[in-house]
Structure 1
Amino acid sequence: MFDVLLEVDPTFQPVWDAFLDKWRDQIELPLYLALGDLARHAVGKLESGRTDELQQIFTVVERWLADGDELVQEAATIGLLEDLQNLNLHKSTSPDQLKQWLGPLAARRWIEAERFWSGQIAKA
């Protein structure tokens, strides 16, 4: 999942390396935690005005949603998109500022997550 992401945003490499080092003894990596790291990384880019790579990051997310298996799609939605909506990650920004970089599939999942957390729909 992360190889393509690291190609488009090499600034995530130190975060990814620290994640791999921390979890090196695990048989299966807790990728949801890495996606949480990616969410914080993306919000940090937004907050600092370094938004160059956000389009490329979200192009990769769109690819995960379009081409990934069910587990990848779920991880991208729950592990990343829902984290990006977490107001606790945003100090001087808002989640809505990220919407401009969402592809069509990510935008649909984003809206579904918003509706779920506001109680408008039940999760299937």
Structure 2
Amino acid sequence: MSQPDHDDATIIHRSNMFEPLLLADPTFRETWERLRREQESDEEVSGYLIAGEFACRLIRCLEAGDTSRFTAVFQVVKDWHTHGVQYVKDAAIVGLLEDLQNENLHNTTKPDDFLPWMHPETVTWWHKVRDFWEKGVPLV
């Protein structure tokens, strides 16, 4: 039987997916805590919703020229893609990347302005999301 690429300690689960993101960008903690409080009645906090809210924050930061945390943030996004369970991977794609590509959320920037910070795995999914919306190509 083949060995997995990583042990269980490196697998990112729904319950801990935002811990490394909050280390990479501590300024998001207040928003993250507010969203968690607002969703207390839900069985589990929606990673998709929080990732989408974080996408809006990244767009605002980009528009303000505040990209100092982007290298660390996109390392976390890469880890979501490479070490996340399926839910985490999907939240990275549907919650974060789709919103980063939403031109309606950009005022003075454009979606591809994020590409310099993205790792190859994230760029692959970036293009898959674009192809899905522009050409109807299935994501998987």
TM-score (norm 2): 0.85
CA distance in 1, matches of 2:118, 2:139: 21
Does the residue aligned with 1:50 lie in a helix, a strand or coil? coil
Deviation of 1:120 after TM superposition, in Å, equals 5.4
Partner of 1:70 in structure 2?
86
Which residue of 134, 137, 140 maps to 1:118?
134
AA in 2 matched with 1:115:
D
Q: Partners in 2 of 1:52 and 1:40 — Cα distance?
A: 16
Give, as a single letter, the amino acid of the residue that structure 1 aligns with 2:114.
L
Amino acid at match of 2:115: K
Which residue is 2:73 aligned to?
57
Q: Deviations over 1:15-67 (max 9, x none)?
A: 10110111112211122111110100111110000000111111000000000
Partner of residue 108, structure 1: 124
Between the aligned partners of 1:65 and 1:12, the Cα distance in structure 2 is 20
Distance (Å, rounded) in 1 between the aligned partners of 2:113 and 2:52: 18
SS in structure 1 at match of 2:135: coil
Which of 108, 111, 132 is equivalent to 1:92?
108
What amino acid does structure 1 have at the position aligned with 2:124?
R
Q: Return the index of the structure with the highest Cα Rg.
A: 2
2:28 maps to which of 12, 36, 39: 12
From 44, 47, 70, the counterpart of 1:28: 44
1:47 aligns with 2:63: yes
Deviation per residue, 1:86-115 (Å, 9 max, x gap) = 011101100010011111110000001111
Write the distance in 2 (CA, Å) between the matches of 1:52 and 1:122.
34
User: Per-residue deviation at 1:122?
Assistant: 2.9
What's the C-alpha RMSD, in Å, of the aligned pairs?
1.1
How far apart are the structure 2 equivalents of 1:106 and 1:74? 12
Measure the CA separation in 2 of the matches of 1:123 and 1:17.
31
Structure 2 unaligned residues grouped into runs of 5+: 1-16
Partner of 2:10: none
Task: Give the unaligned 5+ runs of structure 1.
Answer: none
Quick one: percent identity of the two aligned structures?
Answer: 36
TM-score after normalising by structure 1: 0.95
- Stretches of 4+ aligned residues off by more than 4 angstroms: none
